[in-house]
Amino acid sequence: MKKIFAAIAVLSVMLTACGNTSQDNSEENIPTVTEAEQTEDITESVEETENLTETEDIQEVTENIPKNIDPLANLSEKKRVIIDTDTGGDDAMALMLAAKNPNMTIEGVTVAAGNVDLEQASLNALASLEAAGSDAPVYKGADSSFAGEKRETFSVYGTDGMGDCDLVHPQGVCQEMPAVDFILETVKNNPDEIEIVALGPVTNIALAIQQDPETMSHVKKIWSMGSAGLGAGNATPVSEFNVYKDAEAYDIMLKSGIDITIVGLDLCEQEEVIFSEQQLKDMKNGTPVQQFASDAMSKLLSFRLETQGNNDVIICDALAMAHVIWSDISAETMTCSASCVTDDCEAYGEVIFYRSDMVYDSMPELGEPNVTLVTKQNVADIYERINALYAT
Ligand SMILES: [Ca+2]
């Protein structure tokens, strides 16, 4: 019975992913009328959707653009940011949120290998920005770890990191300047003005700190989607993917003295911020930006279903960006001392947060607090908020 359920569920996922391609195969794969009807809904093209005259169908489309949510309410103060990314599907969502935020100037996007290799991640960053109408410059950075080891990539977002939906056809190209040079030049010319939003392994940031720590001490703030927070890891039981891919780099960042706020994996896995298959389908029927986001996440949907039995997706980088964009999402934070395990052992990549409300009787003397960890968040309307900003 479980196998039958799984087969139906996988079929459903296949139909959800990349609407245009699934439409071609729908006749032979659809066993029931009900699912065939669903398939028609899922696979309508943009042009078809725009030309609809049936009231019911128009209502279905417009319902995907929330009316009662003002995405421009509670925006954080104006920010000038560098976004450091290993662009997979959730990075794409985050980049598009940033591009749509009128209070955020994207000074540049720096890329490292992570979800996919450096070339693909760079193309994905360009395509994501263009999809949201941004011409922010993109700079290629690290394709290996801080220690110089060629990075093994791992994508849960399909071979191209973007759902394998043929989304990636950027018009623009990357800048000639290397990512680390761009980071240092931008911070040097704008001391205490630039915030960095780190959405991948932080190799580029660590290399910049190593090369010119004085300049990097004038980074206004780093926002990091990294570590397991106070929960479990996903690369290993204790290590989160971004840190595990370059723990040495993360350790250097933690010790840099730069103001760091961390959104950990534990927040990303809270029920309220997990997008369901139905919500992705609804996004698919929305604006072009919503459709792009839905497609980019489609392979993660099938990955999670096949490996964990979960018919939904987590949106880590988009959530981290939401914390940067909206001032009221972070509900509780903890300022504490944090360290990263870099020894070649089972705990490699674990970030240890020394909670200030705990008493440790056998610890060496801890350093000064060096991070702010977000521990609670207001995310009841996160799906509607993200969609509303995409629709602006
Ligand atoms: Ca990422």
Whole-number Å distance, alpha carbon 163 to ligand 1 midpoint, is 14
The fold of the 80-390 domain, in CATH, is Inosine-uridine Nucleoside N-ribohydrolase; Chain A (3.90.245)
Whole-number Å distance, alpha carbon 304 to ligand 1 midpoint, is 17
Whole-number Å distance, alpha carbon 63 to ligand 1 midpoint, is 29
Q: Around ion ligand 1, which residues have CB less than 5 A away? A: 86, 91, 199-200, 317
Q: What contacts 278, CB < 8 A, 6 or more positions away?
A: none
Whole-number Å distance, alpha carbon 288 to ligand 1 midpoint, is 22
How many angstroms separate the Cα of 328 from the Cα of each of 74, 293, 359?
Answer: 6, 23, 30
What is the phi-psi region of residue 187: left when phi exceeds 0, alpha when psi lies from -120 to 50, beta otherwise?
A: alpha
- pLDDT reported for residue 52: 34
Length of the chain: 392
Question: What residue type is assigned to position 391 of the chain?
Answer: A
- pLDDT reported for residue 121: 97
Whole-number Å distance, alpha carbon 90 to ligand 1 midpoint, is 6
Report the alpha-carbon distance of residue 379 to residue 50 in Å, rounded: 31
CA 205, distance to chain mean position in Å, is: 17
For the record, the structure tokens of 349 come out as 């990549």
Give domain limits for the chain: 2-60, 80-390
Answer for the pair 45, 267: CB distance below 8 angstroms, yes or no: no
Answer for the pair 246, 218: CB distance below 8 angstroms, yes or no: no
Whole-number Å distance, alpha carbon 178 to ligand 1 midpoint, is 19
* Closest C-alpha among 102, 105, 110, 142 to residue 126: 110
For the record, the structure tokens of 276 come out as 């369901």
- pLDDT reported for residue 211: 98
Report the alpha-carbon distance of residue 107 to residue 83 in Å, rounded: 8
Residue holding tokens 């915030």? Answer: 195
Report the alpha-carbon distance of residue 3 to residue 231 in Å, rounded: 31
Whole-number Å distance, alpha carbon 316 to ligand 1 midpoint, is 8
Whole-number Å distance, alpha carbon 256 to ligand 1 midpoint, is 22
Q: H/E/C letters for each residue in 100-160?
A: HCCCEEEEEEEECCCCCCHHHHHHHHHHHHHHCCCCCCEEECCCECCCCCECCCCCCCCCC
Whole-number Å distance, alpha carbon 123 to ligand 1 midpoint, is 14
Answer for the pair 313, 344: CB distance below 8 angstroms, yes or no: no
Report the alpha-carbon distance of residue 119 to residue 130 in Å, rounded: 17
Report the alpha-carbon distance of residue 218 to residue 386 in Å, rounded: 31
CA 219, distance to chain mean position in Å, is: 22
- pLDDT reported for residue 234: 95
Query: Which pLDDT tens digits describe the chain residue by residue (392 residues)?
Result: 433 333 333 334 444 456 543 333 333 333 333 444 443 443 343 333 333 333 444 444 445 566 688 999 999 999 999 999 999 999 999 999 999 999 999 999 999 999 999 999 999 999 999 999 999 999 999 999 999 988 888 889 999 999 999 999 999 999 999 999 999 999 999 999 999 999 999 999 999 999 999 999 999 999 999 999 999 999 999 999 999 999 999 999 999 999 999 999 999 999 999 999 999 999 999 999 999 999 999 999 999 999 999 999 999 999 999 999 999 999 999 999 999 999 999 999 999 999 877 878 887 777 789 999 999 999 999 999 999 999 99
Report the alpha-carbon distance of residue 339 to residue 243 in Å, rounded: 11
Alpha carbons within 13 A on the beta-carbon side of 102: 6
Residue 223 is classified by DSSP as: E
Whole-number Å distance, alpha carbon 45 to ligand 1 midpoint, is 28
- pLDDT reported for residue 228: 98
